[in-house]
Every structure is written in C-alpha cells, then in structure tokens.
Amino acid sequence: MTASNDAPSGNLCLIGMPGAGKSTVGAMLAKRMGKAFVDTDDLIRTTTGCSLQYIVDNDGYQALRKIEQDVITGLQASNQVIATGGSAVYSDAAMSHLASLATIVYLVVPYEVIEQRIHDLDKRGLARRADQSLANLYDERAPLYAKHARIHVDANDDPATVTERIIDSLSR
C-alpha cells in the first residue's frame, strides 16, 4: 500500500512488533527527512520515571497499556517521526489520535525474524499476558497493525534499506 506524503502536520508514525526496528528506522528516517524524532516508549519512561518492565512487573501489562494510551492521546506533534510501542494498536483511542496526527506506517517483519531479534522477552517491558508466547503475541497483533496502517513496508532488511523503502512509498 502506498500514499502520498500528505500526513497531517507532516508527521509519520511507525507501528509494528517489538524488534521490527521502529526506533532505529524512526531515528534514521527523521534524520533523513529533516524531522524531529519521538519514541513513545521513551515518553512513557520519562512520564512515569520507570522502565516499561518495572511497570509490567509491579502493576501489570494492562497498566502499561493504559499509560501508553494516555501518553499517545496526549501527544501533540508537528513535522515528526513517531515510533510507538508495539502494544499501541490495542487502543482504538491511541490509534485514532495517531491517525489524526500522522500517516501510519506498518513495519512488516515475518515472525521468524522477530523471533531471531527478540531474546529478552521477559525483560523487554512487553505489554503481554504472562502466559502469552511471542508467537501468540505476533498472531494477535499482526492483524491490528495491518488494520491501522495506511502504508505497509517490508522491514525485513537493514534499517537504511527500510528507511529508503518508506521514503519511496511516500513519494508514490
């Protein structure tokens, strides 16, 4: 799927699984396009003074999702690349707000690659049930990412190549 670069306020928002490269590609994309970069996981850490894993361990994954929703729905942005946490897609309010601010880009990566990239499942601050495997999480989230994204980009490559794919898809 492609789109012109007509994002509200010039913003782009990257969504996808943990390990898809949202933060790395987002920072590269922002630099390449002359935009500011914001990572909503960093905003959560700054807002709460806690790591994502601390929140999950002490308050539960639902608390992290609620904090994430509050941080995202309070976000105001102009000419920025926004990288979200992987669980942002669980909140219709957060995704509606992001869609009003930005063109949403889904970084699509096959499960097998995500599995290779994620080794610290219990230390990464993932908003998931304790009994939920990475495969279950992927199967649950992939349709949500696809539903909310305006552009889908193959992100099964190095960050520079993925960055160029995003820029190319925006120019079509």
Task: Give the CATH number of the domain where residue 122 resides.
Answer: 3.40.50.300
* pTM for this predicted structure: 0.91
Given a cut of 90, whether residue 125 has pLDDT beyond it is: no
Is residue 24 one of the residues assigned to a domain? yes
Is residue 2 one of the residues assigned to a domain? no
The pLDDT of 96-108, averaged and rounded, is 96
Angle between helix 92-101 and 61-73 (nearest 10):
30
Q: Is 91 helix (H, G, I), strand (E, B) or coil?
A: coil
Q: Give the chain's domain count.
A: 1
Rg (alpha carbons) of the chain, rounded to whole number: 15
Stronger pLDDT, 7 or 115, i.e. the higher one = 115
Is residue 3 one of the residues assigned to a domain? no
111 within 8 A of 24, measured Cβ to Cβ: no
Measured in whole angstroms, the distance separating CA 88 from the mean position of its chain's CA atoms is 7
Q: Which band of pLDDT confidence, cut at 50, 70 and 90, is reported for residue 5?
A: very low
Specify the pLDDT at position 2.
33
Q: How far apart are CA 95 and CA 122, in angstroms?
A: 26
Range of the domain at 31: 8-171
